[in-house]
Structure 1
């Protein structure tokens, strides 16, 4: 896989020629590590309470909220029957506490308080799974910012 085939650069639509492509080529290790991080948070061997399809739905949801439609569609394609959760307007009752937490971490990180974590714990979500959720959403925030930055450098809409 070349850096141009990574999720980030494929969603940006960066062609492998030109000055921006040359700059990206000089940073291929960063794009490779970013792709590895994506694999680690979306398809880990130890996925805890959040199977891969559910993680993909959460990722699509966070990407959609960040205004990254192509990225959201990319993740939604792996969400299987969990794809309705990719819609930020969906607040499925049995996952409402988790969706609310994912939304808050994705959109209002600075507003997270101890009570948010305590609510998840009271609902039976393990500490390890809370960390897994935070890792996933933090990675998506990073990925969305990189995509937006490259689009700005291309002169296209973030």
Structure 2
């Protein structure tokens, strides 16, 4: 079974890269499980499934991976909750201070993660984001950015074969 990472990296079946990835099947399986757990958790807390999908698409667009952004757009469309759809785009806002603050923080964690400070967390709290949701947001951002980097790295390796 081909994973999302392999699909979006365009790893050709039977290639040397595909063979190399077979030795890392556990990592790919765990990456797939993390994707599912973070996008569609049983208890999403204050980050709905739709919001998670919109934020993931936004992060992908920030780094120029429109194909992976489209994957997350399809999750968003499937939720039926299009109120957060503007947040799927880097400059998009929805006019709700808490959600817009979450989107800005996702931007920071994608574009300049080292610049994130305690002050940014305090801004999220001031906007009404709970501590558990701040952790959920950090987990989502960490995973999506990991996924983007692995896909980008595999694309480079694919070109070197």
Structure 1 length-normalised TM: 0.92
Q: Which runs of 5+ in 2 are unaligned?
A: none
The farther-off stretch of 92-101 and 102-111 is: 92-101
Residue in 1 aligned with 2:85? 83
Residue in 1 aligned with 2:40? 43
8 Å Cα contact 2:86-2:93 kept in structure 1: no
Q: Distance in 1 between matches of 2:16 and 2:95?
A: 49
Residue in 2 aligned with 1:28? 25
Name which structure has the greater RCO, CA cutoff 8 Å, separation 6+: 2
Residue 16 (structure 2) pairs with residue 19 (structure 1): yes
Q: Distance in 2 between matches of 1:40 and 1:68?
A: 22
Residue in 1 aligned with 2:56? 59
- Once the two structures are TM-superposed, the CA of residue 91 in structure 1 deviates from its matched residue by 2.3
8 Å Cα contact 2:11-2:18 kept in structure 1: yes
The number of aligned residues is 153
* Root-mean-square deviation over aligned CA pairs: 1.2
Kindly report structure 1 stretches of 4+ aligned residues shifted beyond 3 Å: none
8 Å Cα contact 2:54-2:73 kept in structure 1: yes
- Once the two structures are TM-superposed, the CA of residue 83 in structure 1 deviates from its matched residue by 2.7
The farther-off stretch of 121-130 and 6-15 is: 6-15
> 1:105-126, CA deviations, whole angstroms, 9 ceiling, x for partnerless residues?
1111111111111111112211
Q: Distance in 2 between matches of 1:12 and 1:111?
A: 29
> 1:18-77, CA deviations, whole angstroms, 9 ceiling, x for partnerless residues?
211100111111100000011111111111011111100000000111111110110011
Task: Give secondary structure in 1 for the equivalent of 2:47.
Answer: coil
Q: Which runs of 5+ in 1 are unaligned?
A: none
